[in-house]
């Protein structure tokens, strides 16, 4: 009888341990969603959504909300490092928010300037495809940040200050200069002329990013194929 009772106690103890670990995982998951950088990310999404609502009827409100949303992008990374709250979820949220806000603005420009629709569609395609394949590659390769590999590959070619400017701008200033373009206004033309080189550089980086990520994926494929062949030989 004693062994049977001991066996029942072991089973119940394992069940309690399993349930406690499950509760712990659920609590940790909730904590991740409530990390400060992720809360900032949610604020960015809300501000961007409201800015899109005002895009056609109130360009000034749209621009202020859009710019605040983009400016918060610098703070989520800062808090993630200081509070040790960098997460994969936060990295994906940051990347998806950037892609959606940029593409939404380009979609509006496509409607506002039908003659340039193909160009804007191409920019959306390049932006989405390069960042998707780059994010996928970094996740497969085990990198902790979707921005690190690109900086390591591009940084030797550019001054550090220029690289920071490219990341901070996110093409927003140039696209908003086009958004505000009126022949009678001079400041959108000046802003567009100043930010055009940065926008062009960002598109070049997107193209390089796509190629580097594709090449890295091909290398991973070759490594996996070699490992499978080695197993078959053994």
Q: Which long-range contacts (CB under 8 A, 24 or more apart) does 163-172 make?
A: 165/198, 166/198, 166/201, 166/202, 166/205, 168/74, 169/195, 169/198, 169/199, 169/202, 170/70, 170/73, 170/98, 170/102, 170/202, 171/102, 171/198, 171/199, 171/202, 172/66, 172/67, 172/70, 172/102, 172/105
Annotated catalytic residue 98: yes
Q: Token digits for 60?
A: 């000034």
**Which residue in 76, 94, 98, 127 is the catalytic one?**
98
Return the active site residues. Answer: 98
């Amino acid at each position: 009888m004693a062994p049977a009772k001991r066996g029942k106690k072991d089973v119940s103890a394992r069940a309690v341990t399993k349930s406690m670990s499950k509760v712990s995982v659920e609590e940790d998951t909730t904590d991740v969603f409530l990390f400060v950088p992720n809360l900032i990310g949610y604020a960015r999404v809300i501000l961007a959504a409201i800015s899109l609502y005002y895009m056609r009827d109130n360009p000034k409100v749209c621009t202020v909300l859009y710019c605040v949303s983009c400016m918060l992008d610098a703070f989520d990374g800062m808090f993630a490092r200081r509070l040790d709250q960098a997460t994969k979820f936060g990295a994906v949220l940051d990347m998806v928010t950037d892609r959606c806000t940029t593409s939404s603005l380009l979609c509006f420009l496509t409607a506002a300037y039908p003659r340039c629709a193909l160009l804007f569609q191409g920019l959306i395609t390049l932006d989405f495809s390069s960042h998707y394949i780059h994010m996928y590659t970094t996740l497969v390769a085990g990198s902790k940040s979707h921005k690190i590999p690109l900086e390591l590959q591009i940084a030797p070619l550019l001054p550090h200050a220029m690289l920071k400017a490219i990341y901070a701008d996110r093409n927003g200033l140039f696209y908003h200069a086009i958004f505000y373009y009126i022949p009678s206004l001079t400041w959108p033309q000046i802003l567009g002329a100043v930010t055009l080189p940065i926008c062009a550089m960002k598109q070049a980086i997107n193209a390089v990013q796509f190629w580097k990520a594709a090449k890295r994926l091909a290398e991973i494929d070759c490594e996996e194929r070699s490992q499978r062949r080695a197993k078959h030989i053994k």
